[in-house]
Structure 1
Amino acid sequence: MRHPKRIVHSGQGSLRRRFTGWAALFALALFAACSNPPSNRLEAVQQDGELRVVTYASATTYYDNPEGPAGFEYDLAKEFASELGVELRVVVVDRFADVLPRLLAGDADFAAAGLGDTETRRALVRFTPPYQETRQQVVYRLGSPRPAQVPDLLGREIEVHAGTSYIERLNELKRTYPDLRWIESHDRQTEELLQMVWEGLLDLTIADSNIVAVNSQFFPELQVAFSLPGTERLAWAFPRSDDTSLYDAASKFIENRRASGLLAQLIERYYGAASRSNFINLTVYRLRIQNRLPLYQQQLEESARRHGLDWRLLAALAYQESYWDPGVVSPTGVRGFMMLTRDTAGQLGVKNREDVAESIDGGARYLKQMLDRIPARITGPDRLWFALAAYNVGFYHVEDARILTQRQGGDPDKWTDVKERLPLLANPRWYTTVKYGYARGIEPVRYVNRVRTYYDVLVKIDEEKRAEQTTEAIKLQAPAI
């Protein structure tokens, strides 16, 4: 009998050959186990260790702040990924209208972008149970004619973002009101159109109530004229497929979050404060100067003196941040008297953000750092306004706005020029051309304006108080007649 040829390496004994054989068998078994294809989409995601979500940058979906990524949709999607034991990868598109096409092209596992569950979209994708219900609202600027009902929209200038469910609703209304007209904008998103209404450049627009609530705190003159009939159910969208494993997991996740109350907490975190915001109330501010400021004035004065700042400026900054309430917490988890982010507090050596003295001193040091980073050639009030804007939105976003200002022929060293470009950082036409990308650029503009108002009022009250004290002192020193 002829035996098959066996290859033996020189110097290898029988035991070594046997061990090598076992190792090979073990490696083969391990490879087979690891290379078993997943039986469904859920297993595939868990095996890959990554969940992909497509969204777009806006104040209600996804954005970057000094503490990192944030936004209602981002936080909810991140929780879902965490429950699956995988990392979340965010695919950001420039336009809302691109969300579903990118999902259907296979670029993401699901879409989370404030999508309304409509009949038209339902033919393309499968929606989870809703996580929020909103109403579509007609928005106008305070002081302009207010439409009270749908017939009042006839003959008015209306512009809405293309690809949104607002178009579907308007088409439904057009069946009853054939003369209803509107413009579909492909370049301007809903938030930009709201800003145009606020600036008086556009008569009317339509937006979901949650978007209106968030933006009203930045554009207080925006007013809701009326809500269109019916409600809109916001939900996540998944590609239509016979494999519903990942969709089922997401639906169960949302239902569980609703039942536990955690979904309501997230909604309150992002929309509660915004829905209650209003104009700067200087009457309330003056009252708080009397009954709250004295509790913290000494600490403000000490920290300001230590870092070479005007204590009244530091107080105005603190009021804008927390209304002099050391227990306040922002929608993104920023907390304390000066509302320092966790990362910023760590960099400043602030161990307890809820300790008033630590928070004030940390805020003073951070403002001083921003002032020191502004180019030396920028002096006077401009230097301060840039520093305040950087305190709010981050130094590098302010630098991006200065670059845009220079490109457009403005003076990058003048706040009056740069504040006109900061809002452009919310427009993909512009933020994609700068290094640090999307930012709620209108927010630091309003932030600086409010701090300046609070500062001016406080200076006036403080100087009046000092004048009264000087007068009283003179009276006490004057000899009796």
Structure 2
Amino acid sequence: MFNPGRILFVFILLLLSCNRSKEAGYDFPQIAAKDTLRVITLNTSTSYFIYRDQEMGYHYEMIKSFADEHGLELQVVVAQNTSALIQLLLNNSGDVVAYSVPVENALKDSVLYCGLSEVSHQVVVQRAERDDTVLQDVTELIGRDIYVLRGSKYEQRMNNLNQELGGGLRLRYADRDTLVEEDLIRMVSGGEIRYTVADEYVARLNHTYFRNIDVGLKVSFDQRTSWAVRKDTPVLADSLTAWFGRVNRAPHYLRLTKRYFEEAKGFHADNQSTFVAMLAPGQISPWDAYFKQYGKQYGVDWRLLASVSYHESTFDPDGQSWAGAGGLMGLMPATAAALGIAGNDLYIPETNIRAGAEYLKMLIDTFSSVGNETEQVKMALASYNGGIGHIADARALAEKYAADKNVWDGNVERFIQLKRLEQYYNDPVCKAGYFRGDETVNYVRDVISRWQAYKSLSSL
């Protein structure tokens, strides 16, 4: 279809490009003409990942907003590690690095820093429960055990800080090759270790999972980070910088920042004791009639549907997760749309429960080859929570490494957790990339446990 506005947009960019360079190269006008922006990023909890079969991530959603504004399709190129980001850019495997690249003089002859620009630093991650003493000054670290990964930038920074303080820091190493930076934060939350160090933005994101940690003690100088493009794409650089300068205080940007770095994630149920006391004997929720109706229609135990609903929304029909899953059964909008539900219909209790029952039954049937009904349900629940792509990856890994791909406990469950490690999510058998699997493991365990409790509470 002829679009005069788009033709004018490309024409203006072409004029800008001519003014910036005598030789016509591959810059934003050519990108706009091809309708595709190639984005280089990493599979991490802050940049890009797939959750519930949806592409997500702070940097991904930001660059997608830019692409959407200019009518561009996004093509994601996932680098295997941080050192490969700039290499892929300079090899013309992508147009922009949408990741927190440290701003360094050594790269200024080959790249232009642009777009999303931030200042961060390293912080101490420490537990902050009622009886914990929260350190307020770096001098209080003297004589305390601080855990880091050997060879990491955090080890280097702590060694430098030790010299600045005149000694006294006790550096300890978590040397298992199945650990990453965020595992140490989890260990702090669980009380296994007292202190570790992380980049501020990583620590802030993990605080949304572990509310019992403090991430306020700064231990390094500020480091500026930014997105980057090649030196020969100045129009793209200018466009990204102008765009970010315009939107960085806009409501959409503020919502994204809050979504990834402030809103609590995972399951946080309210105390249900008062709620249960209000129900009739044998009643699980105000929506039991719908659970029974659609459980029977789709051949799913209605108490299993109730357990899923509790863990998705605590039976709140207006509930919405940080990721955008909505309604009683916690359906992602794209999933709901595939089931014929659009807009606010997602929050109609009967409609939502019907769709949730249909979707769960589809997932159970997907694993019919598993054979064992209990294992089918566990695989389906894991897919409901984390996305079927990650479960397919974990089963493929289980098969490759001589585990049982048809058994969840200790087998597929183990590999869904290992998908946070680069050597596993980059394995050729994996298609869905990085995944933070703890939530899914806990989800399957807790939904099954509550399902059993509901069985004892209420008969069919």
TM range (shorter): 0.7 to 0.9
Query: C-alpha separation between the residues in 2 aligned to 1:344 and 1:170?
Result: 46
Query: C-alpha separation between the residues in 1 aligned to 2:190 and 2:403?
Result: 20
Q: Please identify, of 352-361 and 303-312, the stretch whose mean Cα deviation from structure 2 is larger.
A: 303-312
Residues 348 and 278 of structure 1: is their aligned pair in 2 closer, same or farther, counting only changes over 3 Å?
Answer: closer
Query: What is the CA-CA distance between 1:199 and the residue it aligns to?
Result: 7.3
Query: C-alpha separation between the residues in 2 aligned to 1:205 and 1:450?
Result: 29
Residues 360 and 118 of structure 1: is their aligned pair in 2 closer, same or farther, counting only changes over 3 Å?
Answer: farther
Query: C-alpha separation between the residues in 2 aligned to 1:66 and 1:429?
Result: 22
Amino acid at match of 1:356: P
Amino acid at match of 1:436: K
The residue number in structure 2 matching 1:474 is: none
Q: Pick from 408, 415, 419 the counterpart of residue 425 of structure 1.
A: 419
Query: C-alpha separation between the residues in 2 aligned to 1:361 and 1:460?
Result: 24
The residue number in structure 1 matching 2:50 is: 64
Query: C-alpha separation between the residues in 1 aligned to 2:197 and 2:402?
Result: 34
The residue number in structure 1 matching 2:310 is: 319
Query: What is the CA-CA distance between 1:420 and the residue it aligns to?
Result: 1.7
The residue number in structure 2 matching 1:152 is: 141
- State whether residues 337 and 359 of structure 1, in contact with CA within 8 Å, keep that contact through their aligned partners in structure 2: yes
Query: C-alpha separation between the residues in 2 aligned to 1:406 and 1:196?
Result: 29
> Relative contact order, CA 8 A, sep 6+: which one is greater?
2
Amino acid at match of 2:54: G
Q: Pick from 289, 299, 324 the counterpart of residue 290 of structure 2.
A: 299
Residues 96 and 40 of structure 1: is their aligned pair in 2 closer, same or farther, counting only changes over 3 Å?
Answer: closer
Residue 285 in 1 paired to residue 272 in 2? Answer: yes
Unaligned ranges ≥5, structure 1? 1-32, 467-481
- State whether residues 95 and 230 of structure 2, in contact with CA within 8 Å, keep that contact through their aligned partners in structure 1: no
Query: What is the CA-CA distance between 1:176 and the residue it aligns to?
Result: 0.9
Query: C-alpha separation between the residues in 2 aligned to 1:163 and 1:308?
Result: 51
Residues 408 and 42 of structure 1: is their aligned pair in 2 closer, same or farther, counting only changes over 3 Å?
Answer: closer
Residue 355 in 1 paired to residue 348 in 2? Answer: yes
Q: Pick from 420, 433, 437 the counterpart of residue 432 of structure 2.
A: 437
The residue number in structure 1 matching 2:403 is: 410
- State whether residues 425 and 440 of structure 1, in contact with CA within 8 Å, keep that contact through their aligned partners in structure 2: yes
Unaligned ranges ≥5, structure 2? 1-14, 16-21
The residue number in structure 2 matching 1:75 is: 61
Q: Please identify, of 142-151 and 37-46, the stretch whose mean Cα deviation from structure 2 is larger.
A: 142-151
- State whether residues 137 and 224 of structure 1, in contact with CA within 8 Å, keep that contact through their aligned partners in structure 2: no
Please give the per-residue CA displacement for 1:213-250, whole angstroms capped at 9, x wherever unaligned.
444565x4863365225785775332574863322211
Please give the per-residue CA displacement for 1:33-53, whole angstroms capped at 9, x wherever unaligned.
9xx963783334334433232
The residue number in structure 2 matching 1:96 is: 82
- What root-mean-square deviation, in Å, do the aligned CA atoms of Structure 1 and Structure 2 show? 4.1
Query: C-alpha separation between the residues in 1 aligned to 2:327 and 2:52?
Result: 16
Residues 455 and 420 of structure 1: is their aligned pair in 2 closer, same or farther, counting only changes over 3 Å?
Answer: same
Q: Pick from 360, 364, 367 the counterpart of residue 357 of structure 2.
A: 364
Q: Please identify, of 199-208 and 362-371, the stretch whose mean Cα deviation from structure 2 is larger.
A: 199-208
Amino acid at match of 1:355: I
- State whether residues 67 and 342 of structure 1, in contact with CA within 8 Å, keep that contact through their aligned partners in structure 2: no
Residue 262 in 1 paired to residue 262 in 2? Answer: no
Query: C-alpha separation between the residues in 2 aligned to 1:225 and 1:260?
Result: 26
Query: C-alpha separation between the residues in 2 aligned to 1:49 and 1:262?
Result: 23
Query: C-alpha separation between the residues in 1 aligned to 2:458 and 2:105?
Result: 60
For residue 452 of structure 1, give the secondary structure of its aligned residue in structure 2. Answer: helix
Query: C-alpha separation between the residues in 2 aligned to 1:278 and 1:425?
Result: 18
For residue 55 of structure 2, give the secondary structure of its aligned residue in structure 1. Answer: strand
- State whether residues 128 and 134 of structure 2, in contact with CA within 8 Å, keep that contact through their aligned partners in structure 1: no
Query: What is the CA-CA distance between 1:370 and the residue it aligns to?
Result: 1.9
Residues 440 and 461 of structure 1: is their aligned pair in 2 closer, same or farther, counting only changes over 3 Å?
Answer: same
The residue number in structure 2 matching 1:10 is: none
Q: Pick from 378, 393, 400 the counterpart of residue 400 of structure 1.
A: 393
Query: C-alpha separation between the residues in 2 aligned to 1:168 and 1:126?
Result: 28
Residues 217 and 301 of structure 1: is their aligned pair in 2 closer, same or farther, counting only changes over 3 Å?
Answer: farther
Amino acid at match of 1:285: Q
Q: Pick from 46, 56, 65 the counterpart of residue 32 of structure 2.
A: 46
Query: C-alpha separation between the residues in 2 aligned to 1:246 and 1:96?
Result: 22
Residues 246 and 103 of structure 1: is their aligned pair in 2 closer, same or farther, counting only changes over 3 Å?
Answer: same
Residue 336 in 1 paired to residue 330 in 2? Answer: no
Q: Please identify, of 308-317 and 98-107, the stretch whose mean Cα deviation from structure 2 is larger.
A: 98-107
Q: Pick from 196, 201, 205 the counterpart of residue 205 of structure 1.
A: 196
Query: What is the CA-CA distance between 1:338 and the residue it aligns to?
Result: 1.4
Residues 338 and 79 of structure 1: is their aligned pair in 2 closer, same or farther, counting only changes over 3 Å?
Answer: same
For residue 52 of structure 1, give the secondary structure of its aligned residue in structure 2. Answer: strand
The residue number in structure 1 matching 2:4 is: none
The residue number in structure 1 matching 2:242 is: 252
The residue number in structure 1 matching 2:377 is: 384
- State whether residues 140 and 146 of structure 1, in contact with CA within 8 Å, keep that contact through their aligned partners in structure 2: no
Query: What is the CA-CA distance between 1:389 and the residue it aligns to?
Result: 0.6
Query: C-alpha separation between the residues in 1 aligned to 2:313 and 2:96?
Result: 37
For residue 99 of structure 2, give the secondary structure of its aligned residue in structure 1. Answer: coil
- State whether residues 119 and 225 of structure 2, in contact with CA within 8 Å, keep that contact through their aligned partners in structure 1: no
Query: C-alpha separation between the residues in 2 aligned to 1:129 and 1:376?
Result: 48
For residue 124 of structure 2, give the secondary structure of its aligned residue in structure 1. Answer: strand
Q: Pick from 153, 156, 164 the counterpart of residue 176 of structure 1.
A: 164
Query: What is the CA-CA distance between 1:162 and the residue it aligns to?
Result: 6.2
Residue 139 in 1 paired to residue 125 in 2? Answer: yes
Q: Please identify, of 435-444 and 151-160, the stretch whose mean Cα deviation from structure 2 is larger.
A: 151-160
For residue 272 of structure 2, give the secondary structure of its aligned residue in structure 1. Answer: helix
Amino acid at match of 2:395: R
Query: What is the CA-CA distance between 1:314 and the residue it aligns to?
Result: 1.1
- Equivalenced residues, count: 426
Query: C-alpha separation between the residues in 2 aligned to 1:80 and 1:217?
Result: 26
Query: C-alpha separation between the residues in 2 aligned to 1:234 and 1:324?
Result: 44
Q: Please identify, of 130-139 and 104-113, the stretch whose mean Cα deviation from structure 2 is larger.
A: 130-139
For residue 336 of structure 1, give the secondary structure of its aligned residue in structure 2. Answer: coil
